[in-house]
Chains A and B, each alone.
Chain A
Amino acid sequence: MEQEQQNSNTVQTGKISNGTKGMTVIVKTIASWVKVLIFLFGINIVLFGHLTPGGGFAGGVILASSYVLLMLAFGREFVEENLPLPLASKLDCLGAFMFALVAILGIVFGGSFFLNFLYQKYLPGQPLHLVSAGIIPLANIAIGLKVGASLFLITLMLSISCKGRECRFE
């Protein structure tokens, strides 16, 4: 216990941190409690996007920021084992494809591109309830997935270290 505390009390100072060791034990503990709350809050913003401010993009940013918090607290390798790069890339493409699918279903079911076919024909719902605005919640979920995966990928790739002229890019 004392050895572990001594090891993780050494904070990385210096201009460029190479992201392998992470931060102190206080930051690591709090980060591991808070990350679930941030993720859940992000899902709330995405799902209720047609009722409260937010929506797909803002919710996606919050979803990505929970992973960024983990990246800052634990180091890049830890997060990369959790959500590997090819999987995030495929989630990214899946999100965009779901959004295009929602738009194409407008042609199939209604006859016009991007038609809100759920609201006008099948499932109007009650105003101010969760099931109300037709295809807008589905589009919000797709955008939230895509934006979250994209911002996670961007932050992961930008955190690769560069010391002087030697850059290690995979």
Chain B
Amino acid sequence: MPYALCFLLFMIGLYCAVVKKNLVKIVIGLAIMEYAVNLFLIMLGYRTGGTAPILDKTYIEAGTNKIVANFINTSVDPLPQALVLTAIVISLGSLALVISICIRIYGKYGTFDITEIRRLKG
């Protein structure tokens, strides 16, 4: 059920990126799509009643420096969290680039409306 809601958020972002006529609203639509995908990826790793995958002194047996089996059985999956961290960094770079191009377009064309930014046709 939460996965279907993630997909709905993805579709909302896609609608916004396709239908809207203001440059900045298109960029916001792209950002919503990326939030939805990151949320979906994190929810995949969830385990009901799980704990955060951070090692603590209580999870290490004294003397032998090994991890308690209880930790592996109850912690959520940490791999999607690493993937999402990478995906967030990538979308940060992409967002910075697209916003600076929007600023330059405003400087050249004087408007944010895509129906008036149509020099390339045919």
Contacts and interface: CB of A to CB of B under 8 A. Distances in A.
Tell me, yes or no, whether A and B come into direct contact in the complex with CB atoms closer than 8 A.
Answer: yes
Interface string A71-98: 0000000000000000000000000000
A169 B103 CA distance: 11
Contacts of A166: 107
Contacts of B100: 154, 157-158
Category for how many chain A residues contact B: 10 to 19
A91 B110 CA distance: 35
A32 interface: no
B120 interface: no
Contact of B103 (A127, A128, A162): A162
Nearest to B57: A128
Contacts of B89: 57
A141 B100 CA distance: 28
Contacts of A128: 55-57, 60
Interface string B57-97: 10010000100000000000000000001001100000010
A90 B68 CA distance: 45
A128 B100 CA distance: 42
B103 A158 contact: yes
Nearest to A153: B96
A53 interface: yes
B107 A165 contact: yes
B28 interface: no
Q: Which of B55, B56, B96 gathers the greatest number of chain A CB atoms within 10 Å?
A: B96
30 contacts: A52-B54, A53-B54, A57-B88, A57-B89, A126-B65, A127-B55, A127-B60, A127-B65, A128-B55, A128-B57, A128-B60, A154-B96, A157-B100, A158-B96, A158-B99, A158-B100, A158-B103, A162-B106, A162-B107, A164-B110, A165-B107, A165-B108, A165-B110, A166-B107, A167-B103, A167-B104, A167-B106, A167-B107, A167-B108, A169-B107
